[in-house]
Each structure stands twice: as structure tokens, then as C-alpha cells.
Amino acid sequence: MKTIEVKKPSGYFTQIGPAHPALKEPVMFNLDVEGERIIKADFAPGMSHRGIEWMGLRRNCIQVIYLAERICGICGITHSISFVRAVEQIAQIQVPVRAHYIRSIVGELERIHSHLLWAGVAAHELGFDSAFYLAWRVRENVMDLVEYLTGNRVHYAMIQIGGVRRDITREQFPRIEESMKFFDNAYDQLARVFLDDTTVQMRCRDCGVLTYEEARQLCPVGPTARASGIKKDVRVDHPYAGYADLDIEYMTPDRLTGEVRGDVYDRIVVRLLEVKQSIALVRQLLEQMPDGPLLAIPKPAVLLAKLKGAAGEAVGRHEAPRGEVMHYVRLEAGKDEPVSWKVKASSYSNYLSWIPMMEGEQIADIPIIAASIDPCISCTDRVALVQDGNRRVLTKAELHRLSVEKTRRIQASLSAR
Amino acid sequence: MTFPIVPDLLSSLFKKPNTNPFPAPQLPPTVTGLLDEVNQGKAELNPPVPAPERLRGKMTYNRETCIGCNLCIKVCPAHAIEAIPAVKKVRFYVSQCIQCGQCTEICPKQCLALSGEFLNASHDRYDRSLIVER
């Protein structure tokens, strides 16, 4: 199995992965090193393809919501919101305003828990396990809140095409506010523990730098882009759900530190700032939440019948904790199942920024740099090319050759007629 | 050199563990041995944290009101429901159920519900306790 060709070995060629204790999920890094320094970095994804899209094409739209929820183990609502937004556009279903607000509330709670989970993982990669336990202990509070609101810690099953399935009632508001107060304090504590700590500063400052220009060229999304100073957020740029009514801004590291360096430290800053932002957003959402129905079409059987008649294609987007998620869906009239379903997870856009981040750094920095974009590797893997038992990657030249061959074939068949 | 976590670490020394020690405060030599002792009345289990009100646990099924319309099978994402056409009833496999609760919403007779029961682990996927028929 050979995925890249090293033309001029500078000194030593090393592979990390696909299964390695330093990596949480299977991905392979191919590194050209000189001593401890990384001269040239490359990576090979596609090690954990699960065929989720294939499963989706054999289920009706209501079943796909719960399948989409299981694409990612952490972003429980991300993929289901993106999928239902695409389907709602195709079937022209108007979502009630209250349902929009509830979607946003659960989405923001998810952002809090995902960023705290990441903070713990990052601390663990640095060998700072006390901060790891601290972040995960704080995170338990939001997990309990989500369980109280939705009925489950991870897979919320809140989203339905045309609205949400469960209400957030006025009796539940005090419990939410109690948690938000807890997170006000927890934010101060975590910001102190992570940002003022000498060890964290020594390991993360000017490590794994992605400059503004590099980020412009590679188009990362979410906190990875914002930590390099790119103002990009689906919630602000193309507001959906309840976000259009909210006071919401791009969270870039200069809001706290006054400068943008695009290093691992800035990515910690952005994620902590977003935890604070999410607390404010949940409060605004609770304050402004209007009364009204939860579902556009309350009866699932009626909804299924309507979707069977719907035809068309649409794209649904959502700002996940890791960045923009995009689902493309195509429905045909008379069919329960989607004819086409394409998922672009946020890490797909962030992968390429690994290369400029890693080059010039030391081998010991790989775990924290790899973790700093918060990669969701199993969510991202969509294609694995296997032929005669060998895995391979189609290069640009090979693709071009295949295209030329096809043109020749068509020309030959035309002239034969 | 600043290490702002130190006060938190020191104060943690005087706090109780954040987690509930379930099923026993100390890891027993064998879990099955502990369960045997519990059955004989020699040991006691430490109770789990009370389940929240909305928790989605094991299925409950009212066989009498079910009319066998099979709508629940149509929306089940996990293929956890099996039809029994001879008697026009259904059967639920808890080991396969993902507890989304979609079947409870589509049921025209409201004969399905999700209970708060969550201790469903078993060695056998087709254990009597993991198949809901009535």
C-alpha cells in the first residue's frame, strides 16, 4: 500500500497511523522528517468509510433524520438540521417560529458541550490531564441539561421535518438559567486555567500556525478559519433557524488577545469565546421565544405522503461546532427514499490546513496540531477506492487520462454509427 | 511561571467524587459474582441516578389496542420492529432499537411508549427481556 510518492527523500520518511495511540480516529500522516523537524507533510484519509449515504438511499426521509444524527457522535443535531433544511426547501414546508428557536437552543447547547470536549482532548494531548478532567467535569452539566430537555445525552432526536418533536416549556426555563449561571463561572475558570497557564502558552503559542493568507487559499471553516482571522460563520452570513433575530457576531481571537496569530493558542481562544457567546445566545433565545405550534405537519403519516410527492434538489447548511456542514438532497416524486444524498462534514474543509500547520514543526507537536482543528474523521470519510484488494488514490493525471479515454470511446462509438 | 489550575486541584482534594458509584462503590472482583450476592441478599447495589422525566428508555407495547397497521415499521430507522402478519401484531427488538421514539408518534392507536427503564444490558441479544411482544 503506497499512497504518496516521495521523490527526493530528505532524510527520513515516517508514517503515523492509520491506527495510532496519538490519534483518536483513523487517519494516516505521511511525513518527511529531518531529525525531529517535519519537512513535508501529507495525509491520507478514507480509513473509516462507513457507507452512511448508501444506507440513507434505502430509507425514507423520516428514517434518514435519525441516521444523519448518527453520522457524528458529538454533533447530534448538526447533521439532522442540515438534512431537514434541505428537505424542507424541496417540499416547501414552512417551519413554525417557535420550532426555529428550539432548534437554535439545542444547537447552541451542543456547541458548548462540543467545545468543552475539545478543550479536554487538547489538554490531554499536551499532557495536561488535570485540565482535561476539569473541562470534562464542567461539560457534564450541559450533558445533564441536554438530557433533561431532549431525553438523551447524545442523540437528541429533537428534529422533525417541518419543526421539532419536543417543546421547551416555561417550567423548564429556570433549570436552563441555572446551568447558564454555572457556565458563566465555568467560563471564567476555564479561561484562567487554559489561557494564563505557562505550560499551555509554551506549547501552543506560535505552534501550528495557519496564516490569514494560507487560510484564504485553503478555505477552512468554523473555529479553524476564525482563529486565522477570517470572518466566516453561517449563523451570521446566512442566518437560519432563530439566528436572524439574535445579536451575534464573528468570534475572532483579537476580541480577547488583541491580535490574530493563527496558532493553536488562538484556536483555544476562539472556542472559549464561542462557549461564552453560546451562553449569551441561549439567554437571548429564551427571552425572545414566541408561542406557537412546533410542527408544520403534526402527523408523521401525512408528512410521509407529502414527501412522496415532493421532487427537486436542495442544499441545507448549519454552522456546526467545527464549522459549516452541508447536505445535498435530491428527491423524486413517487419515491420515499432520497435519490441522492451527499454529506459534507466540516472537517472535510479543515483537513488541508493540517499541511501548512505541520510543516516546520516537530514530531511531538503532531498530536496537538492534529487535534487543534477538532477533526471528525469518521464523519468526513465518504469515499474509499479499492481495486483487487488494493487501496489507491486517483491522482489528477489519472483522472485526466480516464476523461480523455472516455471522450475517445464516445467518439469511436459515434463514428461507428 | 503561572499555574492557575493549582487552587482548583488543591480544593478538589476535599471534594467528593463527581460521579455516582454505580453499581458498587468499589469495583467487585467479578460483576456476576456481585449480582449473585445481591440475589442472595448478601450485598446491596448502589442505586443509579434517578432518570430524568423525558428519558427515552425501553419500549412498552399494548398488544390489545394494536391494530397491526405496520406504520411503526415504516418509520423505524433501525429496522427494530418485526411484523407478525398471522395475528396482525408486531414485535420489538430492544437490542436493535435506537430509542428515537418515532414509532410512538406515528401510532394511530397510541399503543406504543418509551418508558424510563434504561438498564437493558444482557449477554444475549435475543434475551426474553430484550424482545417486547406485549
Q: What is the pLDDT of residues A241-269, one digit of tens each?
A: 889 999 999 999 999 999 999 999 999 99
Q: What is the pLDDT of residue A377?
A: 86
CA A337 to chain centre: 25
In the structure, what pLDDT confidence band is assigned to residue A379 with cuts at 50, 70 and 90?
confident
Over 60: is that where the pLDDT of A4 sits?
no
Q: Compute the average pLDDT of residues A119-131.
A: 92
Q: Which residues of A touch B18 (CB under 8 A)?
A: 137, 140
Q: What is the pLDDT of residue A417?
A: 72
**Which positions ≥6 away from B115 have C-beta within 8 Å?**
B57, B58, B59, B60
In the structure, what pLDDT confidence band is assigned to residue A11 with cuts at 50, 70 and 90?
confident
Q: Tell me, yes or no, whether B56 and B112 share the same domain.
A: yes
CB contact (8 A) between residue B77 and residue A67:
yes
Q: Tell me, yes or no, whether B62 and B33 share the same domain.
A: no
**Cβ distance A342 to A100 under 8 Å?**
no
Nearest Cα of chain A lies from the Cα of B47 at a distance, in angstroms, of 18
- A277, with CB counted inside 10 A (0-12, 13-18, 19+), is buried
Tell me which DSSP letter residue B51 carries.
Answer: P
In the structure, what pLDDT confidence band is assigned to residue A2 with cuts at 50, 70 and 90?
very low
Which residue in A169, A372, A172, A171 sits closest to A271, CA to CA? Answer: A372
Q: Tell me, yes or no, whether B105 and B128 share the same domain.
A: yes
Q: Is A242 left (phi over 0), alpha (psi -120 to 50) or beta?
A: alpha
Q: What is the pLDDT of residues B100-112, one digit of tens each?
A: 999 999 999 999 9
**Which positions ≥6 away from A341 have C-beta within 8 Å?**
A53, A56, A57, A64, A83, A327, A328, A329, A330
CB contact (8 A) between residue B5 and residue A67:
no
Q: What angle do CA B111, B129, B62 make, to 5 degrees?
A: 15
In chain B, which residues touch A (CB < 8 A)? 1-5, 8-9, 18, 52-56, 71, 74-78, 98-102, 105-106, 108
Choose between A127 and A46: higher pLDDT.
Answer: A127
CATH number at residue B108: 3.30.70.3270
Q: Compute the average pLDDT of residues A27-37.
A: 89
Out of A174-178, A212-216, B14-18, least confident range: B14-18
Of B5, B55, B74, Cβ closest to residue A130? B5
The answer as to whether A177 is a domain residue is: yes
The answer as to whether A244 is a domain residue is: yes
The answer as to whether A30 is a domain residue is: no
Of A134, A150, A304, Cβ closest to residue B54? A150
In the structure, what pLDDT confidence band is assigned to residue A8 with cuts at 50, 70 and 90?
low
Over 60: is that where the pLDDT of B2 sits?
yes
Q: Which of B32, B48, B64 is the last residue of a domain?
A: B48
Q: What is the pLDDT of residues A406-417, one digit of tens each?
A: 999 999 988 877
CB contact (8 A) between residue A155 and residue B52:
no
In the structure, what pLDDT confidence band is assigned to residue A16 with cuts at 50, 70 and 90?
confident
Out of A248-262, A263-277, B22-36, least confident range: B22-36
Q: What percent of chain A has pLDDT over 70?
A: 97
Q: All 3 cell numbers of residue A235?
A: 449563523
Choose between A387 and A304: higher pLDDT.
Answer: A304
Q: Tell me, yes or no, whether B61 and B121 share the same domain.
A: yes
Q: Tell me, yes or no, whether B10 and B55 share the same domain.
A: no
Out of A149-153, A211-215, A270-274, B30-34, least confident range: B30-34
The answer as to whether A236 is a domain residue is: yes
**Cα A26 to Cα A4: distance, rounded to the nearest angstrom:** 17
Q: What is the pLDDT of residue A210?
A: 94
Q: Tell me, yes or no, whether B34 and B81 share the same domain.
A: no
Q: What is the pLDDT of residues A169-197, one digit of tens each?
A: 999 999 999 999 999 999 999 999 999 99
Average pLDDT, chain A: 90
In chain A, which residues touch B (CB < 8 A)? 59-60, 62-67, 70, 130-131, 134, 137, 140, 144, 147-152, 155, 157, 165-166, 189, 192-193, 196-199, 299-301, 304
Q: Which of B19, B100, B115 to mutate to test the interface with A (most CBs of A within 10 A)?
A: B100
CB contact (8 A) between residue B8 and residue A193:
yes
Q: Tell me, yes or no, whether B63 and B115 share the same domain.
A: yes
Over 90: is that where the pLDDT of A24 sits?
no
The answer as to whether A272 is a domain residue is: yes
- Whole-angstrom CA distances from B107 to A299, B15, B53, B111, B133 are 10, 48, 21, 7, 16
Over 70: is that where the pLDDT of A31 sits?
yes
Q: Tell me, yes or no, whether B28 and B93 share the same domain.
A: no
The answer as to whether A417 is a domain residue is: no
Q: All 3 cell numbers of residue B50?
A: 434517578
Q: Tell me, yes or no, whether B8 and B58 share the same domain.
A: no
Q: Tell me, yes or no, whether B62 and B106 share the same domain.
A: yes
What is the tally of structural domains in chain B?
A: 2
Q: Tell me, yes or no, whether B68 and B128 share the same domain.
A: yes
The answer as to whether A397 is a domain residue is: no
**Cβ distance A216 to A228 under 8 Å?**
no
Nearest Cα of chain A lies from the Cα of B85 at a distance, in angstroms, of 21
Q: What is the pLDDT of residues B50-69, one digit of tens each?
A: 888 889 999 999 999 999 99
Q: What is the pLDDT of residue A1?
A: 43
CATH number at residue A95: 1.10.645.10
- Whole-angstrom CA distances from A367 to A21, A22, B62 are 10, 6, 53
**Alpha helices (H) along A70-127:** 78-91, 97-126
Residue in chain B closest to A157 (alpha carbons) equals: B100
Residue A80 belongs to what domain range?
52-377
The answer as to whether A277 is a domain residue is: yes
Q: All 3 cell numbers of residue A121?
A: 482532548
Checking DSSP bridges between strand A312-320 and strand B112-114, what pairing results, if any?
unpaired
Q: Tell me, yes or no, whether B79 and B109 share the same domain.
A: yes
**Cβ distance A109 to A177 under 8 Å?**
no
What is the tally of structural domains in chain A?
A: 1
**Cα B50 to Cα B10: distance, rounded to the nearest angstrom:** 30
ipTM of the complex: 0.89
Residue B115 belongs to what domain range?
50-134
Over 80: is that where the pLDDT of A393 sits?
no
Q: Which residues of B touch A134 (CB under 8 A)?
A: 5, 8
